Amino acid sequence: MSFSEIFRNYNWDDIKSRIYSKTSQDVENAISKPQRNLEDFMALISPAAAPYLEQMAQLSHKLTQKRFGKTIQMYIPMYLSNECQNICTYCGFSLDNKIPRRTLTEKEILSEITHIKAMGYDHILLVTGEANKTVGLEYFKKAFRLINPSFSHISLEVQPLDQHEYEELIPLGLNTVLVYQETYHQEDYKKHHPKGKKSNFDYRLETPDRLGRAGIHKIGLGVLFGLEDWRTDSFFTALHLQYLERKYWKTKYSISFPRLRPHAGGLTPKVEMTDRELVQLICAYRIFNEEVELSLSTRESNKFRDNVIKLGITSISAGSKTNPGGYANAPESLEQFEIDDQRSPAQIAEMLTRQGYEPVWKDWDRAYGGG
């Protein structure tokens, strides 16, 4: 059974009302149990859990240290292209935004590599819009051949691909694929993706299954907070995670927490997610799942990132540029979204060290992994 089939058995409104009817007793039970299920996760993300934030934070901190030690993985995005044939209401690269478009040439990719390596990185996240004719499998293959010799971990955040395409990229160095559903609310998904291939909800929903079958090392899940009720969307993310972990048990998983950020032609969030609520969610994921990696990008502020490091996060980016060619200097192409934490990787490393954490610049070595 694929995840789409499982997903059809759930009703958004029903899940939402179950989350909102959780009681303080449900929360206390969830906190005190040795293992938690999806019902407990619902309690932990419910409004009833708000007064238990301190307790949840302590437990989340403890579980994270037990599994991951005092380390934080460091990664940096490299935007290869801002060409996109989709309209997404929340994104600066949307087809209807009249911005200068560019796709990096081989020479420009090499130049970005030089700048990123100089910052100390060994884990890179490649990002593009969705322009299949110019930035499709052949382009990715060329990019991987250039990038692979310089990085020990390559992640990809691009349009969903077919299984055979992932299978062709894995031997070229592909380790991780991030594919966020944006929202599991099907009607709202349609509203936010009115044009282009991304409007196909099911194809996106089934992407982690294609990745699992392709034998990928790690899959990153998440939704974009601000589009719909964050609690219900997070339940569906956790449901997806649990399904994938059971079916593709050799694969590792991570969750990201993007909140809507300002961008060209910006969308006002339908649902505001406060800092306290984001902390609650990070802790809830950790208490629910001790293995999953939790990632926080430079979308968030310095203060927020500094404070949540200890609560369950296991990987962060630093010094990020969200425009193609941004490191080797390309001021003319617009960013996908504004970043908040503008500190350099060295400043972030120093902040981590001050808090007693060790920044880890790579978490994967082919000598051990055989990839």
Which residues in the 169-208 window bind ligand SF4 by CB under 6 A? 198
Closest approach of ligand SF4 to the CB of residue 84, in Å: 3
- Binding map of ligand SF4 across residues 69-98, x = CB under 6 A, - = no contact: ---------------x-x-x--x-xx----
3-state DSSP assignment of residue 219: strand
Structure tokens at 315: 């990987």
Q: Smaller CB distance to ligand SF4: residue 123 or 198?
A: 198
Question: What is the C-alpha to C-alpha distance for residues 117 and 121, in angstroms, rounded to an integer?
Answer: 5
Query: How far separated are the first and last CA of the chain, in Å rounded?
Result: 28
Closest CA to 50 of 252, 260, 281, 209: 281
Closest approach of ligand SF4 to the CB of residue 159, in Å: 7
Residue 260: partners with Cβ closer than 8 Å, 6 or more residues away: 90, 224, 225, 226, 227, 267, 269
Closest approach of ligand SF4 to the CB of residue 173, in Å: 22
Closest approach of ligand SF4 to the CB of residue 337, in Å: 9
Q: Smaller CB distance to ligand SF4: residue 90 or 230?
A: 90
Closest approach of ligand SF4 to the CB of residue 7, in Å: 21
| Size of interface with ligand SF4, in residues (CB under 6 A) | 9
Q: Which of 26, 40, 122, 130 binds ligand SF4 (CB under 6 A)?
A: 130
Closest approach of ligand SF4 to the CB of residue 331, in Å: 20
| Residue 177 contacts residue 222 (beta carbons within 8 Å) | no
Closest CA to 45 of 246, 225, 190: 225
Q: Smaller CB distance to ligand SF4: residue 88 or 348?
A: 88
Question: What is the C-alpha to C-alpha distance for residues 143 and 80, in angstroms, rounded to an integer?
Answer: 9
Judging by beta carbons within 10 Å of its beta carbon (0-12, 13-18, 19+), is residue 365 exposed, middle or buried? exposed
Q: Which of 77, 129, 319, 325 binds ligand SF4 (CB under 6 A)?
A: 129
Interacting residues with ligand SF4 (CB under 6 A): 84, 86, 88, 91, 93-94, 129-130, 198
